[in-house]
């Protein structure tokens, strides 16, 4: 056995160790996907199917969960329902089968839009401020730079609930309670620490010679920054932006404590989706699925930079 593998290379694992490793990893990956697949499956079930015992793996898919997610319905008498004309759309039809009529839109879409606005707004600001600060720290001798960088990082170590107490009071005074602007500023402050640390790493990797050449050429520092450094840092900026976006998109603690109505984002809203007589799990599954899909896409885009992002740039592969 050892003769076989050492004929190839001493470090290359043998074929059997590879096969065993592959089997175990694939089994783990499949098991770990079960909850996610179940979320998706539940989103396509009818409410009775979703709570049947034993849990149904095979079922007739329906869009009822998605309809219930986006609409509010009210129960009506059969006579009234019969008096109505043809159902206008598939959601209307499903509702009538359950002796209900669609009376309006649910709050899911506005909450989803809030999530989009707050996530993109805070990401833009965090990356903008972060890029400037990272360049400052990377290229210039800033007094106490290490202490300032540690201070920036330490702001992210604070437990969100502890930060939320004074923020709650401050926002109440300033009229920022339950506003998108308030949440954008808060998420920007949380994300800017990550942005500075990550981007400093990326900018450190850009050779200074490029800028120096530009300076010799008559560029000012600002011009060199805009025309030489920024284009080189595009990948790093994009990766940082996606990390900030995912954080703001996923955030729950601040959102649940500081927003209640107009500025509420999707994460605190989804757990409050209820149907008649308990949780409407297909609707929850639908809301969760729609909420998670963008992150799946981003994760795949980010996979090469994940390690760097989750360690604040400490490990770069």
Binding to other proteins in span 151-170, by CB under 8 A: 151-155, 157-170
Range 173-232, binding other proteins (CB under 8 A)? 185-186, 188-189, 192-193, 196, 207, 209-210, 212-214, 216-225, 227-228
Residue 66 CB neighbours (<10 A) = 22
Residue 105 or 293: the one with the smaller Cβ distance to other proteins is 293
Helices 180-204 and 160-174: crossing angle, nearest 10°?
Answer: 130
Residue 58 or 216: the one with the smaller Cβ distance to other proteins is 216
Residue 117 or 257: the one with the smaller Cβ distance to other proteins is 257
Residue 56 or 98: the one with the smaller Cβ distance to other proteins is 56
Q: How far is the CB of 256 from other proteins (least distance, A)?
A: 7
Range 232-261, binding other proteins (CB under 8 A)? 246, 249-253, 256-257
Residue 19 or 75: the one with the smaller Cβ distance to other proteins is 19
Q: How many angstroms separate the most distant Cα atoms in the chain?
A: 85
Q: How far is the CB of 87 from other proteins (least distance, A)?
A: 30
Is the peptide bond preceding residue 89 cis, with omega within 30 degrees of 0? no
Spatial neighbors of 253 by CB under 8 A, at least 6 apart, are 160, 161, 164
Report yes or no: 80 and 49 within 8 Å, Cβ to Cβ: no
Q: Which of 133, 180, 239, 286 binds other proteins (CB under 8 A)?
A: 133
Classify 277 in phi/psi space as left (phi over 0), alpha (psi -120 to 50) or beta. left
Q: How far is the CB of 86 from other proteins (least distance, A)?
A: 35
Q: How far is the CB of 159 from other proteins (least distance, A)?
A: 4
Residue 25 or 90: the one with the smaller Cβ distance to other proteins is 25
Residue 67 CA neighbour count, 13 Å, CB half: 23
User: Does residue 42 belong to the site contacting other proteins (CB under 8 A)?
Assistant: yes
158-165 long-range contacts, CB within 8 A, separation 24+: 160/253, 160/254, 161/253, 161/257, 163/254, 164/253, 164/254, 164/257, 164/258
Stretch that binds other proteins, among 73-81, 82-90, 116-124, 288-296 (CB under 8 A): 288-296
User: Does residue 129 belong to the site contacting other proteins (CB under 8 A)?
Assistant: yes
Q: How far is the CB of 250 from other proteins (least distance, A)?
A: 4
Q: How far is the CB of 51 from other proteins (least distance, A)?
A: 5
User: Does residue 109 belong to the site contacting other proteins (CB under 8 A)?
Assistant: no
Residue 71 or 289: the one with the smaller Cβ distance to other proteins is 289
Q: How many residues bind other proteins (CB under 8 A)?
A: 119
Determine the Cα–Cα distance for residues 263 and 197; give it in Å rounded to an integer. 29
Range 62-101, binding other proteins (CB under 8 A)? none
Q: Which of 142, 181, 230, 238 binds other proteins (CB under 8 A)?
A: 142
Could you tell me which of 287, 279, 271 has the C-alpha nearest to residue 67? Answer: 287
Could you tell me which of 165, 205, 164, 201 has the C-alpha nearest to residue 186? Answer: 164
**By three-state DSSP, how is residue 9 classified?**
coil
């Amino acid at each position: 056995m050892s003769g076989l593998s050492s004929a190839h290379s001493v470090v290359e694992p043998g074929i059997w160790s590879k096969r065993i490793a592959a089997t175990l990893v694939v089994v783990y990956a499949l098991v770990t996907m079960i909850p996610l697949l179940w979320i998706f499956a539940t989103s396509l079930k009818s409410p009775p199917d979703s709570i049947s015992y034993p849990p149904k793996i095979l079922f007739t898919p329906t869009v009822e969960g998605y309809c219930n997610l986006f609409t509010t319905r009210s129960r009506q008498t059969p006579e009234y329902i019969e008096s109505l004309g043809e159902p206008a759309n598939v959601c209307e039809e499903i509702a009538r089968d359950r002796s209900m009529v669609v009376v309006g839109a649910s709050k899911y879409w506005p909450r989803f839009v809030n999530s989009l606005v707050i996530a993109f707004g805070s990401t833009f600001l965090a990356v903008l401020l972060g890029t400037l600060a990272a360049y400052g720290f990377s290229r210039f001798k800033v007094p106490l730079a290490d202490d300032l960088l540690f201070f920036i990082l330490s702001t992210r170590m604070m437990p969100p609930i502890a930060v939320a107490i004074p923020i709650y009071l401050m926002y109440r005074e300033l009229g920022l309670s339950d506003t998108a602007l308030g949440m954008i500023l808060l998420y920007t402050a949380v994300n800017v620490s990550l942005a500075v640390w990550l981007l400093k790493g990326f900018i450190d990797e850009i050779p200074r010679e490029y800028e120096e050449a530009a300076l010799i050429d008559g560029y000012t520092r600002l011009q060199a920054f805009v025309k030489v450094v920024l284009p080189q840092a595009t990948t790093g900026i994009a990766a940082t932006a996606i990390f900030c976006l995912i954080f703001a998109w996923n955030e729950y603690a601040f959102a649940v404590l500081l927003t209640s109505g107009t500025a509420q984002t999707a994460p605190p809203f989804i757990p409050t989706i209820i149907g008649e007589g308990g949780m409407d799990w297909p609707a929850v599954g639908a809301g969760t699925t729609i909420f998670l899909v963008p992150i799946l896409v981003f994760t795949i885009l980010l996979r090469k930079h994940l390690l760097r992002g989750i360690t604040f740039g400490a490990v770069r592969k």
